[in-house]
Amino acid sequence: MQHVATEPEGEELSLAERAYRAIRDRLVMLEIRPGAPINEDQLMQSLGVGRTPVREALKRLQYERLITTYPRRGTFATEVNITDLAHISEVRQELEPLAAAQAARRATAADRAALTAALRELSATEQRDAAELMRLDLQVHRAIYAATHNPYLEDTLVRHDNLATRIWCLFIDRLSDMAGHVEEHGPLIEAVVAGEAEEAARLARSHVEGFERAIRNAI
């Protein structure tokens, strides 16, 4: 599985953090299907880590609403509930433009390099399947959130973008212009890299509104 996180190469991550990121992205991309049981032993085997890192990861994922634990029944991937779309969009319509504007104001040279690399990837969307496009979408969003240099804003938006992406993945077969939606990030990245805060905010808001509209049309 490809990684979509935006951390610098070679950064030393704890086993629990590595387990968390790997399981999180499987849940977000619906590689672990909504409602599927979470099997600790299978996760330990596939990730090559012990029980403690997996359990620490699962605790965080429960807090992030990606898994649910039922007494005496076990732990399951959270169902994707379309009624959550309005609530998630309400948060993202306020915070995505704020994040884009702050990223435009605060992005470091390293942030701009990461965003420019993502921009190059966006130029080849025709050759990508839907799953690769979704990973690229996540990569762009996470790079912008990281460039805000506000860990509270970044944490909140990563969690809401993860939940939005699960809804997107559920309807991916019914969405006609997946590549077009992801390519919309091009002008947004350019505005962030150029330090154009107001334009970045406008484009981010438009992107979130377009996402909700596309899902509602697909239902």
How much of the chain, in percent, has pLDDT values that exceed 70?
Answer: 94
Which residues, 6 or more positions from 47, have their beta carbon under 8 angstroms from its beta carbon?
Answer: 18, 19, 22, 23, 53, 54
Q: What are the residue ranges spanned by the domains of the chain?
A: 15-77, 84-218
Give the mean model confidence (pLDDT) for residues 15-25.
Answer: 95
- Report whether 115 contacts 193 (CB < 8 A): yes
pLDDT of residue 123: 81
Is residue 9 over pLDDT 90?
no
The rounded distance, in Å, linking the Cα atoms of 216 and 86 is 10
Is residue 7 over pLDDT 80?
no
pLDDT of residue 97: 98
- Report whether 183 contacts 168 (CB < 8 A): no
Greater confidence (83 vs 192) lies with 192
The CA-based angle 51-57-62, given to 5 degrees, is 120
- 81-85, 93-97, 156-160: least confidently modelled range: 81-85
Greater confidence (26 vs 130) lies with 26
- 31-35, 52-56, 116-120: least confidently modelled range: 116-120
149-180: pLDDT as tens digits = 999 999 999 999 999 999 999 888 887 777 78
pLDDT of residue 12: 65
What global pTM score does this model have?
Answer: 0.88
Q: How would you classify residue 179: left for phi > 0, otherwise alpha for psi between -120 and 50, otherwise beta?
A: alpha
Pairing of strands 74-77, 67-70: antiparallel
- Report whether 23 contacts 5 (CB < 8 A): no
- Report whether 6 contacts 143 (CB < 8 A): yes
Q: What architecture does CATH give domain 15-77?
A: Orthogonal Bundle (1.10)
Is residue 74 over pLDDT 90?
yes
124-144: pLDDT as tens digits = 777 778 888 888 999 999 999
Q: The domain 84-218: what is its CATH number?
A: 1.20.120.530
- Report whether 189 contacts 115 (CB < 8 A): yes
The rounded distance, in Å, linking the Cα atoms of 83 and 213 is 14
Is residue 114 over pLDDT 80?
yes
Give the mean model confidence (pLDDT) for residues 51-69.
Answer: 96
Q: Give CA separation, 145 vs 21, 42, 60, 171, 218, in Å.
A: 16, 32, 19, 25, 28
pLDDT of residue 10: 40
Give the mean model confidence (pLDDT) for residues 2-31.
Answer: 77
Average pLDDT, the chain: 90
Give the mean model confidence (pLDDT) for residues 41-68.
Answer: 96
